[in-house]
Amino acid sequence: MKRILFSYCLISSFFVTAQNTIIQEKYEKNNHPIDHFVLSKSNLFVISKGDNIGGLVKADAINSMSTYDSEGSKKVLFNDKKIIGTMFSVSDKCLLVTDISSGMFNSKTKYLIDDKYTEIGKSDIKDMRSFYGGSGSFTAKNEFYLKNKKDDFDIDFVKDDLYLSVKDIVTRKKNTYKIEKPNLNNFIGPNFIKSKEKFRFNFVVNDDETVDLDGKSISKDYTNTILYKVKFSTDGKKVNELAYDLKIPNHVFLYSRNGGGKFTDGGYDNKFLHFGDDLSINNYIKDVKTGDIYIYGLYGDELGKLNDIASPKGFYIFKFDKSGNKVWESINKIDDSGFNSKLVMVQVFVDLVQLNDNVCFSIRTGGLKDFFHYSIVDKTSGKMIKAQNVEFNESFAHANNIGNMEYGINTNFKGFKNIKFDFNSIIAINSNPKVADYIKNVKSSNDLLFSSKFSDLGIWLYESDEKEYFKVTLFKG
Residue 296 lies in a domain: yes
Count of helix runs (H) and strand runs (E) in the chain = 3, 35
**What confidence tier does 129 reach under pLDDT thresholds 50, 70, 90?**
confident
Calculate ∠ Cα 283-288-78, nearest 5°: 100
Residues 100, 102, 105, 111, CA torsion sign: negative
pLDDT per residue as tens digits for the range 35-74: 999 999 999 999 999 998 876 666 789 999 999 999 999 9
Residue 400: the pLDDT is 38
Q: How far is residue 277 from each of residues 145, 448, 461, measured CA to CA in Å?
A: 20, 40, 35
d(CA 275, CA 455): 29
**Collapsed DSSP state (helix, strand, coil) of residue 251:** coil
Encode pLDDT of 269-278 as tens digits. Answer: 545 677 888 8
The angle, 0 to 180 degrees and rounded to 10, between the axes of the packed helices 433-440 and 423-431 is: 110
pLDDT tens for 181-227 read: 999 999 999 999 987 778 999 999 999 999 999 999 999 999 999 99
Q: Provide the greatest CA pair distance for the chain.
A: 65
> Which pLDDT tens digit goes with each residue over 66-121?
999 999 999 999 999 999 989 999 999 999 999 999 888 899 999 999 999 999 99
Closest by CA position to 254, among listed 200, 329, 314, 178: 314
Q: Pick from 112, 128, 120: which is nearest to 64 by CA?
A: 112
Domain assignment present for residue 3? The answer is no
| Residues 334, 366, 46, 33, Cα dihedral to 10° | -140
pLDDT of residue 4: 40
Cα–Cα distance for residue pair 75/195, rounded to 1 Å: 48
DSSP designation for 398: P
| Three-class SS state of 298 | strand
Distance, in Å, from the CA atom of 5 to the CA atom of 12, rounded to the nearest integer, reads: 17
Measure the CA–CA gap between 118 and 105, rounded to whole angstroms. 20
What does the DSSP assignment read for 167-230? EETTT--EEEEEEPPP-GGGTSSTTB---SS----EEEE-TTS-EEEEEEEEBTTSSEEEEEEE
Domains: count for the chain: 1
Closest CA to 124 of 170, 78, 90, 162: 170
Q: Where are the alpha helices (DSSP H) in 85-159?
A: 122-128
88 within some domain: yes
Which of 389, 331, 329, 330 is closest to 365 using CA atoms?
389
For residue 182, being part of any structural domain is answered with: yes
Note whether residue 293 is domain-resident.
yes
**Residue 375 located in a structural domain:** yes
CA distance readout (Å), 59 to 50, 64, 83, 87, 109: 11, 16, 11, 16, 18
Per-residue pLDDT at 392 exceeds 70: no
Instruction: Please choose, from the candidates 306, 308, 312, 285, the residue with its C-alpha nearest in 3D space to the C-alpha of residue 296.
Output: 285
Band of pLDDT at residue 418, cut at 50, 70 and 90: confident
* Alpha helix segments (H runs only) across 373-444: 423-431, 433-440
0.75 exceeded by pTM: yes
Instruction: For residue 162, tell me if it sits in a domain.
Output: yes
Give the pairing of strands 162-168 and 142-147. Answer: antiparallel
Structural domain span for residue 373: 8-476
Provide the percentage of residues in the chain whose pLDDT is more than 70: 87
Rounded Cα distance between 258 and 294, Å, is 13
Q: What is the DSSP string of 334-372?
A: ---TTTTS-EEGGGEEEEEEEETTEEEEEEEE-TT--EE
- Counting every residue, how long is the chain? 477
Residue-wise burial string across 435-452, b where 16 or more C-beta atoms lie within 10 A, e elsewhere: bbebbeeeeeeeebbbbb
Report strand pairing: 419-421 vs 448-455.
Answer: parallel
Q: Select from 444, 454, 446 the least CA-distant residue to 423.
A: 454
Is residue 2 in some structural domain? Answer: no
